[in-house]
Amino acid sequence: MISRSSLLLAMVITILFFSSCSDSNKEFATMIIHGGTIYTVDSKQTTVEAVATKNNRILFAGTLVEAETYKNEQTQRIDLKGKTMTPGLIEGHGHFMGLGYSELRLDLMNTKSYQDIIDAVAERVKTAKPGEWITGRGWHQSKWDSMPANLVKGFQTHHRLSEVSPDNPVYLGHASGHAGFANAKAMEIAGLQVLNKEGIKTFEIEGGEVFVDAFGLPTGVFNERAQSLIYKHIPKDTPETDDKAFNLAIKACYKNGITSFHDAGIDRETIALYDQMKANGNMGIRIYAMLTGWDKELLNEWYLKGPNVDPEHRFTIRSVKLNCDGALGSRGAWLLESYSDQPDHFGHETLPMDFVKETATNGLKNGFQVCAHAIGDRANREILDRYEAALKENSTLDADHRFRIEHAQHLHPDDIPRFAELNVIPAMQAVHLSSDRPWAIDRLGKKRIKEGAYMWQALLQSGVPIVNGTDVPVEPINPIASFYASVSRKTLKGTPEGGYEPDQKMTRAQALKSYTLDAAYGAFEEDIKGSIRIGKLADFTIYNQDLMTVAEDEILKTAIVMTIFDGKIVYELNE
């Protein structure tokens, strides 16, 4: 007969055995984050006390008590100490290598006058070799505090710039990327100052314009596709500068809490660079890339291959970028009615609309999303028309196409509901309102601005998500500025009181979602990122204050204090 003490001992041993077996099968966290407000952007639980991750995936999100059960001696603990965390932010429309190269070239983003540009170039001339190209980007004449005396179509002329740079060709991109400014040396190299027998040279550029003075000579401003006249003479980037720019872009993303990036238009050289970076283990960002629509041969090659959805979620190609009109600042946006400040001028159709229809059809047949740049109301309407025609003709494909219009900045009221009807996603950069709205009214007039410009709430209420971003390097990559613009509709100086057209403001929840889950949806990636939910990627952004509750005039003081990418801390603010 078994004694009572022996029976108890056997029970204890059995419990310990099964307990140890259970522990051996239990998943333990590599990281537990707690101690602050954590916004999940998940409809099931909007905030949680703690998040546990295992390697690069979210293991648990919920109470701290439950999170603690996933802890062992190797688990890293991060105490937020009252700070705020969200899913990793997604730059929904930018130019990744442009971001990197903006760190290497003249940054003219903060120039306030033509004289500022002249001074910046004169300073660079001091260290440049004769004949060496000087390039930069970021100037915007509509943001200057003062204008020079001699203007042609509202833009400066090259003469004063040429005086300080006689031996160096100079080309300076407009902030929008849709125009540029060359000095005399650059135009001489391009053969643009040679006159015909009558002393006049004409410049016929389809989809672009060379600004000329009263004598028919170029002023130095090249709009839209006319920029190619200068571009083709600028030396190509080297592998060394590409590597440097790529790594600088990653650092800039981390500093700004960006863990994913929608790269709006890349060529075959950039694809090769990204492939090499990934092969070498240097792809420290998640890039969702759009193939440039300027290279038809490249598109045809990819139609045959089909989309490349990276199982490691580092570099995916499944979309095409089409550039269909210009920018409002350079009066290149394609309008239904003429510009208020330049009668009889309607902007530029920079890509044939037949090609938009052809690309939409190819996209539907071959599994590619189409993302078309459109700023003016006519460009938006024409693209929606081509999307609609392609969808009707290929209705049997039953495709989840998620076609996009990039910018969708100025819409005719009749076209606003069409986005939802056609399942077309507007990818809109809210910070453009802060920069452009003070002068955009001069281009469009009050009626068109009120009824159709930056129509965020109208689009959201119609039933479509909005993908947010900055269009970097058109604007700085700072997501806090774009978030502030989204919810305030003010300039970054805090004007005007109440914001421009305040009925179109986003709520803070909508603004955060546009930078996370809605941006992920815009790349077919809502199942792996964009919210804090078990199984999704462990990408997080941590802030010094709660941008969801802090006073509106304090939002711009929000700083990124930590970025976690793929389950690892990649950036910490030195406080």
What DSSP string describes 512-545? HHHTTHHHHHTTT-TTTSSS--TTSB--EEEESS
Tokens describing residue 362: 């190819």
Under 8 Å CB-to-CB from 243, ≥6 apart: which residues? none
Q: What is the pLDDT along the chain (575 residues), one digit of tens a residue?
A: 455 555 544 454 444 444 444 455 679 999 999 999 999 999 999 999 999 999 999 999 999 999 999 999 999 999 999 999 999 999 999 999 999 998 888 889 889 999 999 999 999 899 888 998 999 988 988 888 888 888 998 899 999 999 999 999 999 999 888 899 999 999 989 888 645 445 555 677 788 889 988 888 899 999 988 999 998 999 888 999 999 999 999 999 999 999 999 999 999 999 999 999 999 999 999 999 999 999 999 999 999 999 999 999 999 999 999 999 999 988 999 999 999 999 999 999 999 999 999 999 999 999 999 999 999 999 999 999 999 999 999 998 878 999 999 999 999 999 999 999 999 999 999 999 999 999 999 999 999 999 999 999 999 999 999 999 999 999 999 999 999 999 999 999 999 999 999 999 999 999 999 999 999 999 999 999 999 999 999 999 999 999 999 999 999 999 999 999 999 999 999 86
pTM attached to this predicted model: 0.85
- According to DSSP, the residues that pair with 180 across neighbouring strands are 173, 222
**DSSP helix, strand, coil percent of the chain (3-state; round to 5):** 35, 25, 40
- Alpha carbon distance 312, 404 (integer Å): 24
Query: By the 8 A CB rule, do 230 and 191 touch?
Result: no
| CA proximity to 124, closest of 113, 110, 140, 108 | 108
Q: Give per-residue pLDDT as tens, 222-273.
A: 998 899 999 899 988 899 999 999 999 999 999 999 999 999 999 999 999 9
Burial 173-191 (b: 16+ CB within 10 A, else e): bbbbbbbbbbbbbbbebbe
Backbone φ and ψ of 378, nearest 5°: -70, -40
In DSSP terms, 50 is beta-bridged to 34, 62
Looking at residue 94, the DSSP 8-state letter turns out to be: E
Q: Amino acid identity of 482? A: S
pLDDT at 138: 86
Instruction: Report in angstroms the alpha-carbon separations of 520 from 7, 88, 148, 350.
Output: 58, 11, 44, 29
Helix (H) or strand (E) holding 561: strand 560-565
In the chain, the domains with their CATH numbers are 4-82 (2.30.40.10), 90-95+238-527 (3.20.20.140), 102-231 (3.10.310.70)
Chain centroid offset of residue 198 CA: 47
Quote the tokens at residue 313.
């979620």
Stated as kind and residue range, the H or E segment containing 317 is strand 315-323
- In 3D space, the residue among 179, 175, 172 whose CA is nearest the CA of residue 224 turns out to be 179
Pick from 528, 513, 545, 548: nearest CA to 92: 513
Contacts of 292 (CB under 8 A, 6+ apart): 265, 266, 267, 298, 321
The pLDDT value recorded for residue 150 is 86
For residue 425, which phi and psi values (nearest 5 degrees)?
-95, 125
Residue whose token pair is 């650092």: 251
Report pLDDT for 1: 45
- Name residue 228's amino acid: S
Task: Let me know: does 102 contact 138? Beta carbons within 8 Å.
Answer: yes
What pLDDT score does 9 carry? 47
Distance, in Å, from the CA atom of 137 to the CA atom of 482, rounded to the nearest integer, reads: 20
Closest to 36 measured CA to CA, from 47, 20, 22? 47
C-alpha distances in Å from residue 6, one per residue of 14, 17, 182, 297, 560: 12, 16, 94, 81, 61
pLDDT score of 99:
94
